[in-house]
Structure formats: C-alpha cells, structure tokens
Amino acid sequence: MADAVDFANDHAEYFLQLSLQRLARLPEKPSAQFCEDCDEPIPLARQQSAAGCETCIDCQELRERRR
C-alpha cells in the first residue's frame, strides 16, 4: 500500500512535469513592439498576454481568417 511519502513523491513529480511542459511552450523571442503587418504599436497588454506576438490583434485575426 502506498504511504504518504510515495504520495508526496508522485505529487512532486506531477508538478515538475507540468512545469517542464509549460517551460517548453514559452516563446523564444520577445513580443514585437510594432505590428509586422500594419506598423502600428502593439499594446503592452497584448505583448504581455501573447508573449512572442508579432502582430496586433486586428492583423492577427485577419491572418487567422485567411488560413
């Protein structure tokens, strides 16, 4: 039967793996300050919430509709 130490180890391993998966998804480059498509400034809130973004929200929506 599993004891508290086994449970704690399993719990720690789960959260370690979760953290490693999140780390692997981080963008490799910072967000652009200006949109690649329209050259307008990208709001700081978008730069922070969509790390690694290259376009403003309007241009990104247009890109996604074209796909």
Q: Is the pLDDT of residue 19 over 80?
A: yes
Token duo for residue 13: 């391993």
| Of the candidate ranges 20-29, 31-40, 45-54, the one whose mean pLDDT is the lowest | 20-29
Can you give the pTM of this predicted structure?
Answer: 0.59
Residue 55: count of CB within 10 angstroms of its CB = 21
Tallying the residues shown for the chain, one arrives at 67
